[in-house]
Amino acid sequence: MKVCYFIQSHKDPEQICRLVQVIKKSSPDSHVLINHDFSSSYLNLTTLNNLSGIDVIKRKTPARRGNSSILEIYLNAINWLFKHDFDFDWLICLSGQDYPTQPISEIEDFLSKTTYDGFIRYHDLLSEESDWNQKNIKRFFAQYICLPESTSWLLKKYSERIEHSTPLIVKWRYSLIGMETKTPFTNEFRCYRGWYWNTLSKACVKYLIDYLRKNPEILRYYRRTLGPEESLIQTVLVNSERFNLCNDNKRYVDYPRELNGCAKVLTAEDYSKITTGDFHFARKFDTKQDSKILDMLDAKVLNNFVRIDQGSLAHI
């Protein structure tokens, strides 16, 4: 069995190299594919020259929250894998601020034995159990245009007036203006929503990309929604009814209310919560704020490895 770890990143090159190093030293036969925004920071992988199976897709434009850029990065990575005919059984989608919370060997052993085809969080947006209100539902039931980010303050100032006097929907945090329109959703093709970060079998990944090629109107529609990476993948896979999907992406993340939708930076104080649950990875980490937590995770994750300096690991 072979796992491909896809890492989407834009900053903290040293931390990205540390993540790659932990993966490759623990799983030499795995493949690591990185999509990095070189316009934000330069990713120098020379410290990893002794490791094979690492490829980088160089991006020169930042991903922007709210629009389709994050989704496009993921779909481009899938297309890249199939174009280069890479052999993999599972694709694990990570950010540059993710880190494993248990040994990679245990994660891969789990995937080799599971009866599930994918691990991804999802729920029916219109079900009675959904905790989304009508305003949030419009994220995927409207079409948006993206304005320059500099207009954010202006949209915030006049958002109530615009929405009161027009049919427009204002999402000032993302500089988006939208309008409700006809959707592709029906009782047979329901809209699902969940977290972007996931672990999918090759069968799921191939079905997703083939479906979008055969149904380009679905991708066109989603490209004009708000944060499509949090719905398109779930909607296509769940509606297919072909896969045994676990409604759990095996990730730990903390979204405190006071951060208004942003993930909390995890520290050493979070160690027990991160490592005692049924998680494979956690996010987000920032070594500039707290590097001790990654040292603590290394002691658990690396199992039969020991860190001997800043840039290398040795087997013991």
CB 3 within 8 A of CB 89: yes
Residues 6+ apart with CB under 8 A from 71: 222, 223, 228, 229, 232
Nearest alpha carbon to residue 107 among 34, 9, 23: 23
What is the per-residue pLDDT across 3-28, written as a single tens digit (0 to 9) for each?
999 999 999 999 999 999 999 989 99
Region 230-236: mean pLDDT is 97
- Which pair of structure tokens corresponds to residue 102? 């248990």
- Which pair of structure tokens corresponds to residue 13? 């090159």
pTM of the model: 0.92
Q: Note the pLDDT of residue 306.
A: 44
What is the per-residue pLDDT across 257-315, written as a single tens digit (0 to 9) for each?
777 778 899 999 999 999 988 999 999 999 989 889 999 999 999 875 444 344 444 43
Helix and strand totals (H; E) in the chain: 10, 17
